[in-house]
């Protein structure tokens, strides 16, 4: 019998990424959790904690399935750059990232049908060119920042601002495909691909 895989995420980008490697979840059940950082919590700790909490919430109601959850957090030093919900915050993010390197942390959690939890933290280093005020205005006008951690989507116009990247590109989009596939294979999940 084929393994059942539940994706604990509402992100269309994560679903698209999984399809790129031949994985179509049997169900998509976004986990409704409080994503507020804990006092003093660092960006990488937040990414890992949220992925694990999302997986655990969905696993409680769906035993005997593989549960895959992920979270992406942009960190500028020790500072967490949240999902941009309005233009002024998106501008703040872009100004903060302009001309400097930042980390995109991807937390991935997988719970097996036996209830075992496996998790990984992926760290991708990204550097933006120094952005001019008109480039920031242009990007904000495009609207590709909406709902994106750090106020940008690498798979759009922002890619033209990326001077340097070290690590997983797909992690910056929303899910490291290399790490996800290794975790699934290691846990005994059989793919159709």
3-state secondary structure of 72: strand
**85, two tokens:** 């919900």
- 117-128 and 101-111 beta bridge pairing: antiparallel
52 alpha carbon, distance to own chain's centre: 13
Catalytic residue among 45, 71, 82, 192: 71
39 alpha carbon, distance to own chain's centre: 21
Q: Cβ distance 58 to 38 under 8 Å?
A: no
Determine the Cα–Cα distance for residues 146 and 34; give it in Å rounded to an integer: 19
Determine the Cα–Cα distance for residues 112 and 3; give it in Å rounded to an integer: 10
Please confirm, yes or no, whether 71 is among the known catalytic residues: yes
Q: How far is CA 175 from CA 20, 130, 172, in A?
A: 11, 26, 7
Q: How far is CA 151 from CA 27, 75, 184, in A?
A: 28, 12, 30
Catalytic residues: 71
């Amino acid at each position: 019998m084929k393994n059942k895989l539940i994706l604990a995420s509402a992100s269309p980008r994560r679903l698209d990424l999984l399809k790129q490697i031949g994985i179509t979840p049997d169900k998509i059940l976004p986990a409704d959790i409080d994503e507020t950082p804990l006092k003093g919590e660092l960006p990488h700790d937040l990414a890992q904690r949220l992925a694990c909490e999302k997986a655990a919430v969905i696993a409680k109601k769906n035993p005997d399935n593989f549960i895959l959850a992920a979270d992406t957090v942009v960190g500028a030093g020790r500072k967490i750059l949240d999902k941009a919900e309005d233009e002024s915050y998106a501008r703040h993010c872009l100004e903060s990232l302009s001309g400097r390197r930042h980390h995109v942390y991807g937390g991935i959690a997988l719970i097996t049908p036996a209830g075992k939890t496996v998790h990984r933290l992926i760290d991708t280093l990204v550097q933006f060119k120094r952005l001019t005020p008109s480039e920031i205005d242009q990007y904000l006008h495009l609207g590709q920042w909406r709902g994106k951690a750090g106020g940008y989507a690498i798979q759009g116009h922002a890619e033209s601002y990326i001077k340097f990247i070290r690590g997983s590109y797909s992690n910056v989009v929303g899910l490291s495909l290399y790490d996800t596939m290794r975790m699934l294979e290691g846990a005994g999940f059989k793919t159709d691909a």
